[in-house]
């Protein structure tokens, strides 16, 4: 079973355009995300799924420069972009990652993929609603289900938010929201939607990042627990409704 992480990435964010290629210490944000995912032991490939829009030419150039695998597809129809990416790279299992999460946790991703592989689930998805820190989100599903969704889902919002049709129909699909370790449970925002989100991430990287290593989430939670003024930097930012 080929397990592929697909990072949805585009320059045209409505709230903070160009954020995915913003600099964090010695790397760009998308580069940090890719590097963190390389630490996963349960992934076979990592693919950047960007769009065919002209302003995403730079994402393709970035991927080529770093020898990252990538695919370009529809901007609004993210479900189709995921399907075509997974098809192109012969994925059996797809792990959905978004490019606004520069502290994505390899251990958590590995745990969720392992749970998916060892159980009988349509979707494994730890949720912020269950206490998960915003920005550690990831989702695992099969290529076959992705293919089915791509051919049957018609709602525009459900095509924009890849797995929304699944979560809208919990009686139809078997969804696992795994138990979360305590150090993953906080009301912190480690995702980047607005400038103040990025200011916080910049500060975290400034204090904790060491070249050639990745930041441990335990160190992040400890830092924010001990310095509430940092966590308050982006406390006011509201998550975009889906």
pLDDT per residue over 172-218, tens digit each? 999 999 999 998 999 999 999 999 999 999 999 999 999 999 999 99
Return the pLDDT at 190.
97
pTM score of the predicted model: 0.96
Return the domain boundaries, the chain. Answer: 3-182
Residue 28 CB burial class (10 angstroms; 0-12, 13-18, ≥19): middle
6: nearest Cα among 66, 72, 106, 95 = 95
pLDDT score, position 49: 98
Q: What whole-number distance in Å separates Cα of residue 197 and Cα of residue 207? A: 16
- Residue 241's pLDDT is what? 67
Q: Is it the case that residue 8 has pLDDT exceeding 70?
A: yes
| Confidence tier at 17 by pLDDT (50, 70, 90) | confident
Mean pLDDT of 80-107: 98
Averaged over 224-228, what is the pLDDT?
96
pLDDT tens for 145-162 read 999 999 999 999 999 999
**Which residue in 92, 101, 69, 73 sits closest to 140, CA to CA?**
92
Tell me if residue 168 falls in helix, strand or coil: helix
- What are the respective helix, strand and coil percentages of the chain, to the nearest 5? 45, 15, 40
pLDDT (0 to 100) of residue 130: 84
Closest by CA to 167, choosing from 127, 130, 197, 200, is 127
* Mean pLDDT for the stretch of residues 71-99: 98
134-158 exposure pattern, b = at least 16 Cβ within 10 A, e = fewer? bbbbbbbbbbeebeebbeebeeeeb
User: Cα–Cα distance between 44 and 219 in angstroms, integer?
Assistant: 27
Average pLDDT over residues 25-50: 98
Cβ atoms 95, 138 nearer than 8 A: yes
Q: Which two tokens stand for residue 60?
A: 């393709």
Of 13, 121, 141, the residue nearest 75 (C-alpha) = 13
The per-residue pLDDT for 242 is: 62
- DSSP class of 90: T
- C-alpha 131/C-alpha 230 separation (Å) is 19
Report the length, in residues, of the chain: 242
* Residue-wise pLDDT tens digits, 96-137: 999 999 999 999 999 999 999 999 999 999 988 789 999 999
How many angstroms separate the CA atoms of 91 and 174, rounded? 21
pLDDT band at 21 (very low <50, low <70, confident <90, very high): very high
In 3D space, the residue among 34, 39, 35, 45 whose CA is nearest the CA of residue 2 turns out to be: 45
User: CATH assignment of 3-182?
Assistant: 3.90.550.10
């Amino acid at each position: 079973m080929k397990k592929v992480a697909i990072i949805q990435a585009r320059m045209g964010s409505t709230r903070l355009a160009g954020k995915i290629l913003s600099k964090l210490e010695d790397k760009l944000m998308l580069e940090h995300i890719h590097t963190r995912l390389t630490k996963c032991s349960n992934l076979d490939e990592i693919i950047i799924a960007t769009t065919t829009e002209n302003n995403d030419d730079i994402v393709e150039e970035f991927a080529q420069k770093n020898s990252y695998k990538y695919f370009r597809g529809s901007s609004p129809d993210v479900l189709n972009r995921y399907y075509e990416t997974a098809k192109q790279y012969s994925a059996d299992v797809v792990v959905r990652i978004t490019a606004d999460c520069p502290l994505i946790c390899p251990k958590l991703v590995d745990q969720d993929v392992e749970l998916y592989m060892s159980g009988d689930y349509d979707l494994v998805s730890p949720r912020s609603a269950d206490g998960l820190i915003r920005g550690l989100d990831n989702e695992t599903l099969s290529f076959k289900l992705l293919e089915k969704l791509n051919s049957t889902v018609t709602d525009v919002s459900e095509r924009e938010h890849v797995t929304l049709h699944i979560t809208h129909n919990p009686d139809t699909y078997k969804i696992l929201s795994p138990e979360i370790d305590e150090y993953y449970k906080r009301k912190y925002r480690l995702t980047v939607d607005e400038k103040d989100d990025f200011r916080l991430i910049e500060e975290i990287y400034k204090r904790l990042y060491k070249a050639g290593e990745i930041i441990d989430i335990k160190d992040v939670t400890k830092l924010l627990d001990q310095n509430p003024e940092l966590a308050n930097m982006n406390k006011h930012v509201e998550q975009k409704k889906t």
